[in-house]
Structure 1
Amino acid sequence: MNHITLGFLASLIAGCATGIGAIPVLFFRKQNFSHRLKDLLLGFAAGVMLAATAFSLLVPAIDIGGVWIAVIGVIIGALLLDGVDKVIPHEHFEMGREGGSTNLRRIWLFVLAVTIHNFPEGMAVGVSFGTENISNGLTVATAIGLQNIPEGMAVAISLIGVGYNRTAAFGYALLTGLVEPIGGLLGITLVTFMHWFLPLGMALAGGAMLFVISDEVIPETHHRAHSRLSTYALMIGFIVMMTLDNLFG
């Protein structure tokens, strides 16, 4: 199996992890899911994303291309996500509606919000396989899949909270992760056929993920009285991923 196919499959599996995380909503009653649980799950996911960004994307980008290429890539990645965020209409569960005006149903605005979030994650997996260092690629894919599990559950819980039934909540949570293999295929194709793009692409994906973490994930966990617990969950997620990255990366 060549690294392009492997990268695509890895990003597909990582994306499907949102569905794995959403499975519990099919079996438990609505009252079993609280805002506190959702904030803890998102906090943990943010910590995993931060560690994966730092150790699996930005550090290799600096090693390959130097610090200034990494700086440029991070800035470009953040600006691209900022532009997309302002143009594409979407809605967050806590922060409300953003982007342009639209007549889309609210559920599709939620799906678009998570899709914007997930695309750079898939691209990060693809770019990491572009080095043909399978170990590094698998580490990033594991990190993204690991954080997608609590994220998928948090999305499903939020959908139940705004009135969707358990089956619909599970289906939409799974759907939001399926954009990741598209990002993965794009990332690995770019770095495979344009080798010079590799360090820039890793930094760009890292910058996009940093933007998502700071602009969307963390704020979603700080609207209620659970912000301190969410902060500790973020630190635990960061420590878990940092440990896994150094043991197996």
Structure 2
Amino acid sequence: MRFYLNLSPVRTLSYIPFNYQYAISALIYKKLAQANEGYAEFLHEKGYAQNQHSRHFKLFTFSNLQGKFSVSKKALKLESNEMGLILTCHMPEFAENLIKGVFTDQHISIGDHTAQSDFTITQIEVLPKFLFDDASEVIPTVRLKLLSPIVMCRKNSRGNDDYLSPEDEDFIPLLIYNLKEKIAVAYGTEAAEEEVFEVFIGGLDNIKSRLVTIKAGKYAETKVRGFLGFEMEMKGSKRVIQLAMDCGCGGMSSLGFGCVEVSL
């Protein structure tokens, strides 16, 4: 499912930290906890997996903040009386608890040690699906619009992560492998083995990278590099493309990376 959250600032002057991804991810868990503490704890600490030995996924993601901003010395200044956020998820229980949590308390705070502002969620809108529910029918190649940077990692010889550009030869294979893992968690191992889909990358002259600091100013601070500005197309079953939109493409989706939608 896909939601659009309309956010109105509580005060006239509102500042958002440059690295707002972790703050938004944290407030999503907070909203889930206001509806169901047990579910929020499960999702945060574990998430969904094929079995106890396989990789775990949260199966949600969100877009960059949508609004008019100017850049100040230490933060982003909101230059309008509202901003928006697209939030997508696969599991019905996530959607149910999110809606309950929002209506329990429509107040949120986005910030870190550099800047913080309060907002009211004035509207939560369920966005229409671009695709039908028929899982078997293959659709024509669709263009995907990137709503946030895509993160793809590859371990180097030192055991550290190299963040890959779409120009890297491993970018597409690793992206497909990541989505296959999500398919296996969402629909089962057999479904993941049966699904055949292709990803195409273009517009490489316009690639942009974004370095995002996670948990800025804390002991566990880490830096993540994602890429956007390029073109991406996908051909496969409607179920796979819908899952890519619901759960995100690439890694670290629950921190707001890899959010995409079909570009009409």
Q: Which category of TM-score, normalised to the shorter sequence, fits these structures?
A: under 0.3
TM-score, with structure 2 as normaliser: 0.25
TM-score, with structure 1 as normaliser: 0.26
Greater RCO between the two (CA within 8 Å, min separation 6)? 1
**Which has the larger helix fraction?**
1
Q: State which structure, 1 or 2, has the greater radius of gyration over its C-alpha atoms.
A: 2
